[in-house]
């Protein structure tokens, strides 16, 4: 049900880079990640399932390609309807607190790994390693209160 | 009740987990987006810069056609500018053995023919930041030139007696990367053959050291060490992209002689390598005109690869063969079209590759020339490999470097590395700064474009209009809307406050009194003007005469079609401090036209470093 995170999104086409919105080219669907990246960058927070449903609607009949002509109106609708609203800092904190059963104010890597890889829409091993590298401090603890305020992205001015 | 509590708690955990996962994936995606546009910015500006290079060449040919008498010294000025092209084949006068090496010199003292102790000495010396004495450097270059004269245009190698061949891409003066490759993969030797696929110099600060090592190993193991020519193995490129400057700085007395030797050597480098008759290695790429048999037959040292500057131009067909090999890039669509982004060579499609490989019985094309985030990339259904060996090329953390190894089965294996890692933030900051400088350098044109959309002079335009104006003026093909928050402010009603684009930048030292459009031209073409001054300044003293200054400037602005009257130029010449007997210190003059970012006033030295050395 969840998408295996594909290898790093560094394979670019060898033609000149084009801006996502200004070209009529077909957007190659190397993985659901490509569309995910675009949608996330537009300020939305879809779940993996949301992404899949969205892609299913706009994909060109199992060709693996998504045409901008279909993507643009669908995406515009998503934005106008605020379909995948952002997660506030408070809510995120509550979520971390919910996982911190012992109320230590931090999580151990094992705890976080257990939840991230077994619950919800599980992370792949690669995603998990990356998250631990990013969030764990020198004591190998995840102090989520610090992390959340550091990593919450302010809305564009 | 207990069961219910546990159940609710589990459900809560699950919801929490989903939330965190969603949030985190989004964070990673945002990082990826920033990484991508940072990359786009660097690449676009780099290619645009290379296009300017073509401008410079055409300026030279313009001057050839239009030279005027300069107080009876007309021909001198022009021939000065073209640096009389002695046939690279001819032997130049040598006198390196008359150069005195002081007792105090503790660097390597090479003895020819070279031995392993010489190359080891070079490696240690360069790791300790020492410079090779001119006397030995010159002899090394003379020996290299002699050796290269014996080589054909296309080198044919075979894997039958060796285990693996290692192929490296662009190094661009990055000594650390070269040392890392030697460390990970082994030093060049009879058992460890290498092919270095061009672009050894320019941009990085240790081009001299890189090229000395490569040449030393070439002399030591001529059958195991192979060098292909790249588009930066060219004296005009070197003038613009830093190698010339580096040589003159490190070798004040003999730099000029060295540069002439480098010019010869670069034109004598082979242009292609073929392994087992199956794998073709060239620096840039191919075109639909590429013909390996024809390529083998031409006199490669007569083709500079820079169209305008040959006094005795070679036949166009030879020139184009070489230019295509050194400058082309692959594309995904079929066909072959001129590479307008670079200003030379072609974009070649998978069908062109297929046809060439078939025609010559080949199975793979390995090329370099383009920086890739992972250090390498495959395209054209795996028939083309791009290999790039300068890690962190654009900025700290921008990309990995890689090399590829081929064994007897000729199946490529890739090895990646990165000299140091850094946060995305540094690379992004650097890219955005470079981009803002571009905006500043085109301020007049941009403002004119904005005002066209803003007839009532309200100071704002829509986001679409803003993006459109930027693209039509700058032509960098960047995601302007995504970049907007970094470049300009929004007015309360959501439209773009366009004057804010130019807010946090300004000129360096107090400007000499110049008209605004002259100033802008100077900002924009600063690099080109610097190159021309450097050419005129034969003895590299940093000074040229006021008359030379006026004359060159008039020609340059006539060529650019910039309308600047003689009076403005005279005023300009007069307003610059004259150092001695009517000479202009052009370095000081040009300093004023280096763009400074006001917000980093404490980092002024940093932006200076960025401009001068990362060109």
B574 CB within 8 Å of a chain A CB: no
Q: Is the pLDDT of residue B353 over 60?
A: yes
Looking at residue B238, its pLDDT comes to 84
B232 in catalytic set: yes
Report CB contact under 8 Å: B20, A15: no
User: In sequence order, what DSSP letters do the residues of B296-356 get, joined into one string?
Assistant: HHS-GGG--S-GGG-SSPPPHHHHHHHHHHHH-EE-SSSSEEE-TTTTSSEEE-HHHHHHH
- End-to-end CA separation in angstroms for chain B: 71
> How far does B22 lie from chain A, in Å, by closest CA?
6
Provide the 10 A C-beta neighbour count for residue A38. Answer: 18
For residue B256, what are its two tokens?
């000029």
A40 CB within 8 Å of a chain B CB: yes
Looking at residue B83, its pLDDT comes to 53
**Percent of chain B scored above 70 by pLDDT?**
76
Please state the three-class secondary structure of B148-170 as a single string.
HHCCCCEEEECCCCCCCEEEECE
Mean pLDDT rounded to a whole number for chain B: 80
For residue B238, what are its two tokens?
């070197």
Looking at residue B544, its pLDDT comes to 75
Looking at residue B368, its pLDDT comes to 96
Reading phi first (left if > 0) and then psi (alpha if -120 to 50, else beta), residue A83 is in: alpha
Looking at residue B212, its pLDDT comes to 97
Looking at residue B467, its pLDDT comes to 93
Looking at residue A4, its pLDDT comes to 26
**ipTM of predicted assembly, 2 dp:** 0.71
Residue in A94, A121, A153 closest to B21 by CB: A121
Report CB contact under 8 Å: A120, B480: no
Question: How confident is the model over B319-333, as a mean pLDDT?
Answer: 89
Distances from the Cα of B523 to the Cαs of B283, B488, B563, in angstroms?
32, 21, 16
Report CB contact under 8 Å: B16, A14: no
Interface of B with A in 149-178 (CB under 8 A): none
Looking at residue B515, its pLDDT comes to 63
Q: Report strand pairing: B401-406 vs B412-417.
A: antiparallel
> How far does A93 lie from chain B, in Å, by closest CA?
9
Residue written as token pair 């005002």:
B451
B48 CB within 8 Å of a chain A CB: no
Question: How many pairs of residues across A and B have Cβ atoms under 8 Å apart?
Answer: 128
Report CB contact under 8 Å: B477, A16: yes
Q: Is the pLDDT of residue B422 over 70?
A: no
Distances from the Cα of B534 to the Cαs of A63, B60, B68, B134, B393, in angstroms?
57, 14, 20, 22, 26
Looking at residue B110, its pLDDT comes to 93
Q: Is the pLDDT of residue B576 over 80?
A: no
Looking at residue B597, its pLDDT comes to 59
For residue B201, what are its two tokens?
């110099």
Please write the tens of the pLDDT for every residue from A89-129: 888 888 889 888 888 888 999 988 988 888 778 888 888 88
Looking at residue B612, its pLDDT comes to 30
Please write the tens of the pLDDT for every residue from A33-81: 677 788 887 778 888 788 888 887 877 666 666 777 888 888 888 888 8
Interface of A with B in 74-133 (CB under 8 A): 87, 91-92, 94-96, 98-99, 115-116, 119-123, 127, 130-131
Region of poorest pLDDT, from B29-33, B91-95, B226-230, B417-421: B417-421
Question: How confident is the model over A145-150, as a mean pLDDT?
Answer: 74
Element containing residue B195 per DSSP (H, E):
strand B194-196
Residue in B36, B377, B485 closest to A157 by CB: B485
What's the rounded Cα separation, in Å, for the pair B412 and B405?
Answer: 6
Q: Which residue has the higher pLDDT, B145 or A141?
A: B145
Looking at residue B235, its pLDDT comes to 80
Looking at residue B221, its pLDDT comes to 96
Region of poorest pLDDT, from B255-269, B330-344, B395-409, B419-433: B419-433
Q: Is the pLDDT of residue B289 over 80?
A: yes
Please write the tens of the pLDDT for every residue from B524-540: 777 767 767 766 666 66
Closest CA to B199 of B237, B229, B235, B238: B229
For residue B157, what are its two tokens?
């190698």
Beta-bridged to residue B194, according to DSSP, are B166, B225
Region of poorest pLDDT, from A24-33, B12-21, B488-497: A24-33
Q: Is the pLDDT of residue B613 over 50?
A: no
Residue in A40, A94, A151 closest to B29 by CB: A40
Rg (CA), chain B: 27
Looking at residue B451, its pLDDT comes to 92
Q: Report strand pairing: B364-367 vs B346-348.
A: unpaired
Chain A residues lying within 8 Å of B15, measured CB to CB:
95, 98, 120
Looking at residue B606, its pLDDT comes to 36
CA geometry: angle B149, B152, B155, nearest 5 deg: 125
Looking at residue B300, its pLDDT comes to 87
Looking at residue B405, its pLDDT comes to 93
Please write the tens of the pLDDT for every residue from B546-560: 777 777 777 666 666
Please write the tens of the pLDDT for every residue from B101-136: 888 898 999 999 999 999 999 999 998 889 999 999
Q: Report the chain B residue with the minimal C-alpha distance to residue A116.
A: B17
Report CB contact under 8 Å: A10, B26: no
Q: Is the pLDDT of residue B599 over 70?
A: no
**Percent of chain B scored above 90 by pLDDT?**
35
Chain A residues lying within 8 Å of B29, measured CB to CB:
33, 36-37, 40-41
Looking at residue B166, its pLDDT comes to 95
Report CB contact under 8 Å: B20, A95: yes
Q: Is the pLDDT of residue B66 over 70?
A: no
Looking at residue B132, its pLDDT comes to 94
Please write the tens of the pLDDT for every residue from B302-321: 776 554 445 556 677 777 88
Residue in B331, B370, B490 closest to A157 by CB: B490
Question: How confident is the model over B285-290, as a mean pLDDT?
Answer: 93
Looking at residue A29, its pLDDT comes to 38
Question: How confident is the model over B340-354, as a mean pLDDT?
Answer: 86
B379 CB within 8 Å of a chain A CB: yes
> How far does B480 lie from chain A, in Å, by closest CA?
8
Looking at residue B8, its pLDDT comes to 74
Chain B residues lying within 8 Å of A121, measured CB to CB:
18, 21-22
Report CB contact under 8 Å: A92, B23: yes
Report CB contact under 8 Å: B16, A123: no
């Amino acid at each position: 049900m969840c998408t295996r995170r594909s290898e790093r999104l560094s394979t670019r086409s060898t033609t000149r880079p084009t801006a996502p919105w200004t070209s009529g080219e077909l957007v190659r669907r190397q993985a659901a990640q490509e569309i995910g990246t675009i949608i996330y960058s537009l300020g939305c927070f879809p779940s993996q399932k949301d992404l899949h449903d969205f892609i299913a609607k706009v994909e060109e009949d199992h060709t693996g390609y998504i045409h901008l002509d279909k993507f643009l109106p669908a995406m515009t609708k998503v934005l106008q309807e605020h379909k995948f609203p952002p997660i506030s800092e408070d809510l995120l904190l509550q979520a971390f607190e919910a996982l911190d059963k012992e109320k230590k104010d931090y999580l151990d890597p094992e705890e976080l790994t257990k939840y991230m890889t077994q619950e919800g829409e599980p992370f792949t091993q690669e995603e998990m390693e990356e998250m631990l590298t990013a969030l764990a401090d020198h004591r190998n603890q995840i102090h989520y209160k610090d992390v959340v305020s550091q990593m919450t992205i302010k809305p564009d001015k | 009740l207990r069961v219910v509590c546990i159940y609710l708690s589990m459900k809560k955990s699950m919801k929490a987990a989903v939330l965190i996962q969603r949030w985190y994936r989004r964070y990673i995606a945002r990082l990826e987006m920033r990484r991508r546009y940072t990359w786009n910015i660097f690449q676009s500006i780099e290619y645009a810069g290379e296009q300017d290079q073509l401008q410079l060449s055409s300026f030279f040919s313009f001057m050839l056609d239009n030279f005027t008498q300069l107080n009876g010294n007309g021909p001198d000025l022009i021939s000065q500018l073209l640096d009389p092209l002695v046939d690279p084949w001819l032997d130049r006068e040598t006198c390196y053995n008359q150069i005195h090496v002081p007792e105090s010199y503790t660097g390597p003292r090479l003895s020819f023919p070279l031995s392993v102790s010489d190359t080891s000495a070079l490696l240690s010396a360069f790791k300790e930041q020492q410079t090779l004495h001119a006397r030995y450097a010159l002899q090394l270059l003379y020996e290299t030139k002699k050796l290269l004269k014996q080589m054909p245009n296309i080198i044919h190698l075979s894997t039958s007696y060796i285990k693996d061949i290692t192929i490296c891409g662009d190094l661009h003066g990055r000594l650390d990367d070269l040392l890392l490759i030697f460390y990970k993969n082994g030093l060049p030797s009879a058992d460890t053959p290498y092919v270095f696929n061009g672009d050894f110099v320019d941009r990085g600060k240790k081009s001299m050291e890189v090229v000395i090592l490569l040449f030393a190993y070439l002399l030591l193991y001529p059958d195991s060490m192979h060098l292909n020519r790249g588009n930066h193995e060219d004296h005009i490129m070197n003038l613009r992209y830093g190698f010339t400057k580096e040589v003159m700085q490190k070798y004040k007395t003999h730099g000029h002689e060295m540069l002439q030797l480098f010019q010869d050597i670069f034109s004598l480098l082979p242009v292609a390598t073929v392994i087992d008759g199956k794998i073709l290695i060239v620096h840039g790429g191919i075109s639909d005109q590429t013909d390996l048999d024809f390529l083998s037959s031409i006199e490669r040292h007569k083709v500079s690869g820079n169209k305008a500057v040959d006094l005795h131009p070679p036949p166009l067909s030879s020139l184009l063969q070489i230019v295509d090999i050194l400058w082309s890039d692959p594309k995904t669509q079929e066909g072959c079209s001129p590479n307008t982004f670079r200003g030379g060579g072609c974009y070649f499609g998978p069908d062109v590759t297929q046809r060439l490989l078939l025609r010559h019985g080949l199975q793979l094309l390995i090329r370099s020339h383009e920086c890739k985030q992972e250090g390498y990339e495959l395209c054209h259904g795996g028939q083309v490999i791009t290999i790039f060996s300068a890690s962190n090329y654009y900025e700290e953390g921008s990309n990995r470097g890689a090399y590829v190894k081929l064994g007897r089965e000729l199946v490529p294996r890739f090895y990646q590395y990165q000299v140091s890692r850094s946060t995305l933030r540094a690379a992004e900051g650097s890219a955005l700064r470079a981009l803002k400088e571009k905006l500043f350098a085109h301020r007049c044109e941009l403002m004119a474009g904005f005002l066209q959309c803003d007839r009532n002079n309200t100071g704002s335009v829509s986001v679409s209009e803003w993006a459109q104006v930027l693209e039509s003026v700058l032509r960098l093909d960047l995601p302007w809307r995504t970049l907007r928050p970094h470049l300009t402010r929004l007015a309360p009603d959501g439209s773009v406050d366009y004057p804010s684009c130019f807010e946090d930048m300004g000129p360096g030292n107090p400007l000499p009194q110049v008209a605004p459009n002259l100033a802008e031209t100077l900002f924009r073409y600063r690099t080109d003007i610097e190159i021309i001054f450097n050419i005129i300044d034969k003895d590299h003293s940093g000074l040229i005469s006021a008359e030379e200054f006026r004359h060159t400037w008039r020609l340059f602005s006539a060529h650019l079609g910039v309308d600047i009257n003689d009076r403005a130029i005279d005023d300009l010449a007069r307003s610059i401090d004259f150092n001695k007997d009517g000479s202009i210190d052009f370095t000081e003059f040009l300093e004023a036209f280096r763009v400074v970012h006001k917000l980093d006033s404490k980092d002024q030295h940093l932006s200076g470093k960025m401009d001068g050395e990362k060109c």
